[in-house]
Amino acid sequence: MTNQVSICVLGSGYVGLVAAVCFAEIGHRVICVDNNEAKVNMLNEGGVPIYEHHLPELLGKHLNRGVEFTTNLAYGVEECEAIFIAVGTPQGSTGSADLSYVEAVVSEIARAVNGYKVLVEKSTVPVYTNEWITRCMHRHGVEPGTFDVVSNPEFLREGTAIGDFLHPDRIVVGANNDRAADVLRSIYAPLTDGSYFAKSDSLPGPLSQENPAKLLVTSAQSAEIIKHASNAFLALKISFINAVSNLAESVDADIEDIAAGMGLDSRIGPKFLRAGLGYGGSCFPKDVAAFYWVAQQQGVDFQLLEEVRKINATQQEIFFNKVRSALWTLRGKKLAALGLAFKGDTDDIRDSPAIDVIKKLIAAGATVTAYDPAAIEKAKGVLPASESMSYAASAYEAAENADAVLILTDWAEFAELDMVRLDQALKFPIVIDGRNLYKPAYMREQGFTYVSVGRPAAYTAQQGKPKRLVLS
Ligand code: UDX
């Protein structure tokens, strides 16, 4: 039997909303607070503001049973013992995280405190934020001993967020005393004792009753750093393979073989070694910058992180040059762009390499018709339809009469295109793939000129391999 904890989640963005429904799913009572009234109304009427597998079912299952949505922060705080702070921590001008939303909610929490509370940092925050929160509570007159601050970083990925939450690789709890750590242990008990996985309606995944989740207790500072260091390390892995891909390309080696050969070493592992257009999204770019800033503040020279960022930015330049080199000139060219989201299986376009590449191509005089299975509406906000930008309802419609197809996002459906249909739609059979979704030999057989990342390009007999061009 779950020891039910009353949980208030502040913020109904990606992390907050997923955490709120998942806490309800494992048996707790949850009040999710957001100051955006329209969003709260939408959620209360059964709307789902983000594209995420299993979220609609779980919201349907728990709305007004395990989880309620409100704009009333004081009500959430008064009713609950654990208060998860999951508000935005956007990137400030210096690269540091902007913590003004965190400070604002902490001040409001302080005004509503009516008994012992555990404040939990769920948003990604720099080290020592736990101390700032403590100080802020004291400044607002909350007595020491009536609250604790815990860091419980979230490692979920967009698109698979619900699965990541309920079947985590690890749960990290950074608490500076046992009382607070025990509240978090109780909250996650259904995942760590396996009782959740024994339920007939639990979400299937890698964990089970016999192999439940692992919970690691550390100091608050260590937990804050675990989050930044994990994301920065994954970004580093991607930049590393991207740097190697550029070397591979210049010596006619194949980055997919190289990554497979490296990944078989169990110390390295095969994940996050996919070369391509580079990383984007709401976390990696922001967290690499924020972690670099944290190191600088402490007088630690962590130049490596700056290199990770630079390699990532260069990757888009290199891709742009590939498009130019395959098409000779860009002015007046009609290009089909497959993908707008920062990765497949999400409608999120924040810091999306696809959007940046399209902007550069348009600035160079090309016209672009884009298709994405989920992100078109969001993309229209930053790339409005115009003479040089339009949107299509399918990959084939985007390719109609285009000079080339560009693959910019790794959606599964882009890896299964009907090449005969694509060929018929296109003016020239040219595919420039920023996500390595096809094998060059296969594309050559299908009659395409195929340019990808870190692998020799495949040319059809008619197109022939161009001499190495020097681009200014
Ligand atoms: C990431 C972390 O994985 C997650 O733990 C954290 O909580 C939030 O940030 P997310 O941003 O959803 O999650 O996406 P992720 O799947 O990690 O991909 C990030 C970016 O890296 C994407 O743009 C993706 O296309 C790119 N990527 C990923 C690569 O270019 N190569 C890879 O091998 C893996």
Render 353-390 in DSSP notation, one character per residue: HHHHHHHHHHHTT-EEEEE-SS-HHHHHHHS---SSEE
CATH topology for 6-218? Rossmann fold (3.40.50)
* Nearest atom (ligand 1) to Cα of 153: 7
Ligand 1: residue whose CA is nearest its atom 5:
155
Q: Which residues contact 13 (CB under 8 A, 6 or more apart)?
A: 86, 87, 88
Measured over the CA atoms of residue 76, residue 78, residue 83 and residue 89, the dihedral's sign is: positive
| pLDDT attached to residue 93 | 83
Q: Which residues contact 198 (CB under 8 A, 6 or more apart)?
A: 209
| pLDDT attached to residue 266 | 98
CATH topology for 314-451? Rossmann fold (3.40.50)
In the chain, domain spans: 6-218, 227-311, 314-451
What is the whole-number distance in angstroms between the Cα of residue 22 and the centre of ligand 1?
21
Ligand 1 pocket mutation pick from 164, 271, 283 by most atoms within 8 angstroms of CB:
283
What is the whole-number distance in angstroms between the Cα of residue 351 and the centre of ligand 1?
12
Using the 8-state DSSP alphabet, how is residue 414 labeled? G
Ligand 1: residue whose CA is nearest its atom 26:
279
Ligand 1: residue whose CA is nearest its atom 2:
157
Ligand 1 pocket mutation pick from 279, 312, 452 by most atoms within 8 angstroms of CB:
279
The answer regarding whether domain 227-311 maps to CATH 3.40.91.50 reads no
Q: Cβ(396)–Cβ(390) under 8 Å?
A: no
Digit-by-digit pLDDT tens for the chain (472 residues) are 568 999 999 999 999 999 999 999 999 999 999 999 999 999 999 999 998 999 999 999 999 999 999 999 999 999 999 999 999 988 888 888 899 999 999 999 999 999 999 999 998 899 999 999 999 999 999 999 999 999 999 999 999 999 999 999 999 999 999 999 999 999 999 999 999 999 999 999 999 999 999 999 999 999 999 999 999 999 999 999 999 999 999 999 999 999 999 999 999 999 999 999 999 999 999 999 999 999 999 999 999 999 999 999 999 999 999 999 999 999 999 999 999 999 999 999 999 999 999 999 999 999 999 999 999 999 999 999 999 999 999 999 999 999 999 999 999 999 999 999 999 999 999 999 999 999 999 999 999 999 999 999 888 766 555 544 444 3
pTM of the model: 0.94
Transcribe 262-293 into DSSP letters: HHTSTTT-STT---SS---SSSHHHHHHHHHH
Is there a common fold for 6-218 and 227-311? no
| pLDDT attached to residue 395 | 98
Ligand 1 pocket mutation pick from 238, 262, 411 by most atoms within 8 angstroms of CB:
238
What is the whole-number distance in angstroms between the Cα of residue 411 and the centre of ligand 1?
13
- Catalytic residue ranges: 283
| pLDDT attached to residue 469 | 45
* Nearest atom (ligand 1) to Cα of 271: 33
The number of helix segments (H) and strand segments (E) in the chain equals: 18, 14
Query: What residues flank ligand 1, with Cβ below 6 Å?
Result: 154-158, 231, 234, 238, 272-274, 276, 279-281, 283-284, 342-343
| pLDDT attached to residue 462 | 61
What is the whole-number distance in angstroms between the Cα of residue 116 and the centre of ligand 1?
37
| pLDDT attached to residue 465 | 53
* Nearest atom (ligand 1) to Cα of 344: 25
